[in-house]
Amino acid sequence: MARWTAADIPDLTGRNAVVTGASEGVGFHTALELARHGARVVLASRDRGRGEAAAARIRAETGGGAAEWLALDLGDLASIDRFAAGLTAARGGPERLDLLVNNAGVMALPRQTTADGFERQFGVNHLGHFALTGLLLPELLARPGARVVTVTSGLHRSGRMDFDDLMGERRYGKFSAYTQSKLANVLFALELHRRATAAGTDLVSAIAHPGVARTNLARTGDPLRGLLVTLAKLPAQPAAAGALPQLYAAAAPGVGGGDFFGPDGFAERRGHPTKVRPAARALDRDAARRLWEASEELTGVRFSAFDRDGVRP
């Protein structure tokens, strides 16, 4: 994959994709390049104005590429349920889905809760994507070799799962809550791969991180944190470059379940996509199973489409 760029994406005509958080930043550039290469792309985000403007920009820049916006608030389980149902209704029947890119996220927030009472960083970054993936699983399994790309951060390596206080009710740190949610992303993606394999499916669950890219992610935190994050990002690569690892995971031939991609430069901060290794904590299968079970309990979403002949992985 030496110096792989978006120009190397193969023809995606006939493929259906959903990209969360696609109104701006690396999510926008991911959706743009998928549409440029022929995919029908749904941009899933909260803000109608920004979402519809992003979809219109993609159609303009691609000469009429298929891009549309649908409302999705990953901090609201009811919104996630409506999105999953609406994805089918918008097309007048069951929708087959080739690609789900779990890209959206928030960072370094003062403690807040979602509509369902979850700590917001864990709720949006992990639980929202867990629920969305579970609800869209039947559509993904209907397409041979469908992919789920879960976007994390290189900072997952600093994360620790506090199963006794997942919501930070006893003790909360903005940055530790963020890195916990990013570690949860990797644990989830690897467990999804194991369960997909055990169920005898060909679903590919891959992982990517953008390195250090110029985006508006830090604006969701307080001004001091935003300043610190901005300083830490200097020098940073453009959002279009930050999108390359997840585009590789989403579209390059030969990507396998459990593969993890990030930039090939120093400390994985910038560069072209390459395979990278997750933190040792992300390889803890007991922690992954525990997180999965907690996520099922919290969201009420079971990946029942994996059940075959009464066998559960």
What residues are labeled active site?
178
Tokens of 148: 């789920």
Q: How far is 117 from 121, CA to CA, in rounded Å? A: 12
* Rounded alpha-carbon distances, angstroms, from residue 202 to 243, 293, 296: 25, 23, 22
Instruction: Indicate the SS3 state at residue 180.
Output: helix
Residue whose tokens read 């959706």: 31
59 forms beta bridges with none
DSSP string, 162-190: -TT-TT-SSS--HHHHHHHHHHHHHHHHH
Q: What is the β-pairing status of strands 260-263 and 273-275?
A: antiparallel
Angle in degrees, CA 274, 251, 55, rounded to 5 = 115
Beta-carbon-side half-sphere exposure of residue 156 (alpha carbons within 13 Å): 33
DSSP string, 225-266: HHHHHHHHTSS-B-HHHHTHHHHHHHHSTT--TT-EEEE-SG
Cβ atoms of residues 263 and 245 within 8 Å: yes
Tokens of 275: 């395979």
